[in-house]
Amino acid sequence: MSLGRVLLAILFPPLAVLDKGCGSIVIVFILTFVGWVPGVIAALVICNNTPYRY
């Protein structure tokens, strides 16, 4: 996960998960609407959950 993605997840979490799919965007948007901290945590977890390449 790059530094830019981390900063984007902290400042505006839904933009950080834009390339992860529609479901992720909706989940992070709802969590950000409920509270900023849950949205940031969800965005960081989703961005950090990348598949391993062998």
First vs last C-alpha separation in the chain: 17
Q: How many domains does the chain have?
A: 1
- The type of residue at 48 is N
Evaluate whether residue 54 is within a structural domain.
no
pTM: 0.83
- 4-48 pLDDT, tens per residue? 889 999 999 999 998 888 888 999 999 999 999 999 999 999 988
Q: What is the pLDDT of residue 53?
A: 60
User: Is the Cβ–Cβ distance between 42 and 28 less than 8 Å?
Assistant: yes
Cα–Cα distance for residue pair 36/18, rounded to 1 Å:
17
Supply the DSSP string of 4-27, one letter for each residue: HHHHHHHH-HHHHTGGG-HHHHHH
Evaluate whether residue 9 is within a structural domain.
yes
Containing structural domain, residue 43: 3-48
Evaluate whether residue 53 is within a structural domain.
no
> Is pLDDT at 50 greater than 80 in this prediction?
no
